[in-house]
Structure 1
Amino acid sequence: MQKDNSTFRKENMEKGPKFGKRHVQAILLFTGVATELMTRITLSLSIVAMTDSTASVNDKIPTYTWKDRDVILSSFYWGYLVLLVAAGQAAKQYGPKWILFTALTVNSCATALIPLAAAYLGSKGVMACRIMQGISQGGVYPSVHTMLGRWAPQNERGRMSTFVYSGISIASIVCLPVTGAICKSYLGWPVSLYLFGGCGFLWSILWLFFGHNSPATHPTISTAERRYIEESLAQAEETEVIPTPWKAILSSPHVWALVIPTAGSGYAVIFLQNEMPTYLKTVMNYDVDASGYLSSLTSVIGVVGIYIYGPLSDFLIEKRYLSRTNTRKFFEVYACYGSAASLLVLAYLKRSQEHLAVYMIAVANVFGSGILFGHSVNPIDLSPRFSGIIVGLANSMSSIAALCAPLSVQYIVTDQTNPLQWRIVFIIAAIGYVLPATAFILFASAERQWWDDGAVKDSTTNQARVKKISTIEPEILRKFSTSNTVQI
């Protein structure tokens, strides 16, 4: 029988400094997530200017007559698939610090090389850079989840995850208007790629000096803060690497209950990120600068939702109005069903309703940000130790769906000014939200799983015998386990 960790937590547990080392790691992860997404999505607006000779006031800025714009956007996800699961395993085994450093450094190089690749190798060269971006960024989210699994105390998990993953929305808020303004200015679209690539290099330097794999490896963390984090998670630094329980992970219905909606929402989220600037320009007749600002505005509204949902999620759990599992399911229903309804409204708008279109995109983002407190945070609930591996598995499935989003626009929307063709992809995105979310509602759990400690099940008793490989003091272990059963 598994119980919530708060049952065993001391009421006045010493947490260390009010602003501790875990908060520094959270800030670094927040800026890393924001930087990663900015280098990813800047091209979704830059590519509009790259193929429009009237976009910049500077007629010397190069433009191209490519017919494969959406294939270029999709090519990122061809590479993204490559290392996701391997990155989660590597982050667990060797630590996420060097995985994140390498990922953001390589990603920044690939971003900054796009203008040169376009000039000398055409659209195929840009695709090569996008594939390299995808391969490198495949190491980001599994590593971020691994970091949260090691640094986020259980009763702070919602707030810390809220903050770190709000970097996704902040990236859109900053990146899209800045990209739009640069593309329209005398500087032209290449500068936007140099700018965000440079931000990635700067982040890598900061991470090299201030990022740390876990509380146990941090050289200056206070004893009180380290103990607080490790007691909350019922684990400490491992004295040897616990083998990944692949069979238990891959056969867990709770894992697949979060993998399926991650894949389904992947199509819809990437569709909104990559295609809305084009939709607003070609169907609703906004120029490239305005579409950047409007796309950013919708993200601003979405991030407001994040900072409401995070505290609300923790409040519902801490006050026991809802169990942790039912809280996750509540936000999944709210986010996915609400977003799907917004997309269906968008599907049937007319050209004359351009203001309503922007409003409905914003509403979809408000609903969609609730996903962070549904299936997105669920890997850490199930397994703080192996959350990066679960995220890698989920994002692998999501990447397959995500690469289909630009391709579906490429092959369904043959006339980008035709709202009836856009209606089809809006409906597909709505279905991608609803059906997988229903699977999550039916089969998801937010209880820490027996295999998180590398347990093996006894075939005769079906009891989980846990091999504890840690440096936690015996009295702490007794607080979190009785007999042979893990209780969290």
Structure 2
Amino acid sequence: MATKTELSPTARQSKNAQDMQVDEALIPRKVPSLCSARYGIALVLHFCNFTMIAQNVIMNITMVAMVNSTSPQSQLNDSSEGLPVDSFGGLSKAPKSLPAKSSILGGQFAIWEKWSPPHERSRLCSIALSGMLLGCFTAILTGGFISETLGWPFVFYIFGGVGCVCCLLWFVVIYDDPVSYPWISTSEKEYIISSLKQQVRSSKQPLPIKAMLRSLPIWSICLACFSHQWLVSTMVVYIPTYISSVYHVNIRDNGLLSALPFIVAWGIGMVGGYLADFLLTKKFRLITVRKIATILGSLPSSALIVSLPYLNSSYITATALLTLSCGLSTLCQSGIYINVLDIAPRYSSFLMGASRGFSSIAPVIVPTVSGFLLSQDPEFGWRNVFFLLFAVNLLGLIFYLIFGEADVQDWAKERKLTRL
């Protein structure tokens, strides 16, 4: 007969504190970060994410050219004006590839489950995830130019070639865990293993679906991701249209202005990861860091967008606010988007795919709801769209601030059995 040993909440907290002290004592103090195995893996994942998003964006950029012509060269004069239209709004068509994206993101989190020390998790994940933003920037900036100068097939040849290189890097560089990695130093291997000692995953266990569905921390992450994707979808799809209708300047026709928000977001996203880990070294609680990153990535971004109808100065100001809002929104990478690694590391890949799948509902709803608001009230329609964005974002943020956690949940821990 087997029974599960249970401790009282006070005894469990005391034991966890003792385990953390022991683990901190076992972690080597000086471990290289530059040219290390874990940062090399983060860089490879960065370029894999770059390729994944870039290929999605170039599909939208070249769609006009492919549909309007049977010859790679004959369509250039007729469709070159249409190419930039999809370049900024290309991500609005992302739901077509959401299943692939969710599986890729879930696979990445399965890697970080065994490769990311808790005090470096924010920066490693931010380095990897920021590749998506660099992919958007590069594809938007160069996709139309390549189509016009060389023909649309060369866009696929070039970015497809980059994808092949990333695939080869993946097979050569990526390993399941540090133990099996052939090029890792002994000190780095000990550092990673000792820092993850509390996250034991020696036995296979079925997914605790019922416990997950009853978990408020999981729902807080899903709802916060949903509200944040509402923000991102509105920025990508409707802000360029707003600037065009109010200031009569089509920033979609300017490749640099269209791509600028993404390169700013790329830089801020990686800086945010380092900042989150820096706060952890200053004895901030992990959940406090996650919530600070989520607040900074949600509240200022939505507030900047709400302020747009009240600023009638110039389109340059509006574009600057859009760029800043897009950049700040990526701070959530160090908050809600990696929080599943904290609360359920052994199920992080599944939960990441589930949360991304749930949040993908937002890009489907946003165009319908926003279009309805704009058609019903032409004068104050934009204000209604932006205030709805702010309200959705604020509700998701408040729910996360109340119920979000960063401790490994009981149902995500290994079940230890004793024989009687």
Q: TM-score, normalised by structure 2?
A: 0.80
1:225 pairs with 2:188: yes
CA contact (8 A) 2:64 2:79 kept: no
Distance in 1 of aligned mates of 2:46 and 2:111: 12
User: Which of residues 387, 392, 417 is equivalent to 2:348?
Assistant: 387
User: Which of residues 134, 143, 150 is equivalent to 2:114?
Assistant: 150
Between 322-331 and 9-18, the greater mean CA deviation after superposition: 9-18
Distance in 2 of aligned mates of 1:264 and 1:233: 31
Deviation sequence 1:290-344 (CA, Å, 0-9, x none): 1x31132222322332243222212222111x31111211222222111110110
CA contact (8 A) 2:217 2:403 kept: yes
Residue 127 (structure 1) aligns with: none
Query: In the alignment, residue 401 of structure 2 is paired with which amino acid?
Result: I
Seen in structure 2, the aligned counterparts of structure 1 residues 307 and 419 have a Cα distance that, compared at 3 Å, is farther
Residue 216 (structure 1) aligns with: 179
Seen in structure 2, the aligned counterparts of structure 1 residues 134 and 372 have a Cα distance that, compared at 3 Å, is closer
Between 170-179 and 272-281, the greater mean CA deviation after superposition: 272-281
User: Which of residues 201, 206, 228 is equivalent to 1:265?
Assistant: 228
Deviation sequence 1:317-374 (CA, Å, 0-9, x none): 2111x31111211222222111110110224455x62111111101212321221122
1:302 pairs with 2:317: no
Matches within 5 A, 1:44-123: 58-59=76-77, 76-77=94-95
User: Which of residues 206, 217, 223 is equivalent to 1:243?
Assistant: 206
Residue 10 (structure 2) aligns with: none
Seen in structure 2, the aligned counterparts of structure 1 residues 395 and 236 have a Cα distance that, compared at 3 Å, is closer
Distance in 2 of aligned mates of 1:294 and 1:70: 9
SS in 2 for 1:454: coil
Seen in structure 2, the aligned counterparts of structure 1 residues 69 and 377 have a Cα distance that, compared at 3 Å, is closer
Distance in 2 of aligned mates of 1:161 and 1:396: 19
Residue 100 (structure 2) aligns with: 136
1:179 pairs with 2:143: yes
Q: Which has the higher helix share?
A: 2
CA contact (8 A) 1:173 1:296 kept: yes
Between 140-149 and 278-287, the greater mean CA deviation after superposition: 278-287
Query: In the alignment, residue 19 of structure 1 is paired with which amino acid?
Result: C
1:323 pairs with 2:285: yes
Distance in 2 of aligned mates of 1:43 and 1:270: 18
SS in 2 for 1:9: helix
Identity of aligned residues (%): 25
Offset of 1:419 from its aligned partner?
A: 8.1
Distance in 2 of aligned mates of 1:297 and 1:190: 25
Distance in 1 of aligned mates of 2:67 and 2:226: 31
CA contact (8 A) 1:382 1:448 kept: yes
Deviation sequence 1:434-461 (CA, Å, 0-9, x none): 1101111111111122333333xxxxxx
1:447 pairs with 2:407: yes
Seen in structure 2, the aligned counterparts of structure 1 residues 18 and 335 have a Cα distance that, compared at 3 Å, is closer
SS in 2 for 1:59: helix
Distance in 1 of aligned mates of 2:133 and 2:21: 31
Distance in 2 of aligned mates of 1:243 and 1:152: 24
Query: In the alignment, residue 138 of structure 1 is paired with which amino acid?
Result: S
Seen in structure 2, the aligned counterparts of structure 1 residues 137 and 310 have a Cα distance that, compared at 3 Å, is closer
Seen in structure 2, the aligned counterparts of structure 1 residues 190 and 419 have a Cα distance that, compared at 3 Å, is farther
1:27 pairs with 2:43: yes
Residue 8 (structure 2) aligns with: none
Q: Which runs of 5+ in 2 are unaligned?
A: 1-12
Residue 365 (structure 2) aligns with: 404
Query: In the alignment, residue 307 of structure 2 is paired with which amino acid?
Result: V
Query: In the alignment, residue 359 of structure 1 is paired with which amino acid?
Result: A
Query: In the alignment, residue 341 of structure 2 is paired with which amino acid?
Result: I
Residue 311 (structure 1) aligns with: 274
CA contact (8 A) 1:216 1:237 kept: no
Deviation sequence 1:151-210 (CA, Å, 0-9, x none): 111121122122112213222332221134345x34465654554344333322321222
Distance in 1 of aligned mates of 2:165 and 2:368: 33
Residue 367 (structure 1) aligns with: 328
Matches within 5 A, 1:264-283: 264-280=227-243
Offset of 1:431 from its aligned partner?
A: 2.5
Distance in 2 of aligned mates of 1:332 and 1:422: 25
Seen in structure 2, the aligned counterparts of structure 1 residues 293 and 408 have a Cα distance that, compared at 3 Å, is farther
CA contact (8 A) 1:216 1:236 kept: no
Seen in structure 2, the aligned counterparts of structure 1 residues 306 and 426 have a Cα distance that, compared at 3 Å, is same
User: Which of residues 331, 336, 346 is equivalent to 2:308?
Assistant: 346
Residue 54 (structure 2) aligns with: 38
SS in 2 for 1:438: helix
Distance in 2 of aligned mates of 1:61 and 1:422: 30
SS in 2 for 1:139: helix
Distance in 2 of aligned mates of 1:425 and 1:48: 29
Residue 335 (structure 1) aligns with: 297
Deviation sequence 1:242-278 (CA, Å, 0-9, x none): 3222222222211111111011111221332345555
Aligned residue pairs, count: 393
Q: TM-score, normalised by structure 1?
A: 0.70
CA contact (8 A) 1:180 1:288 kept: no
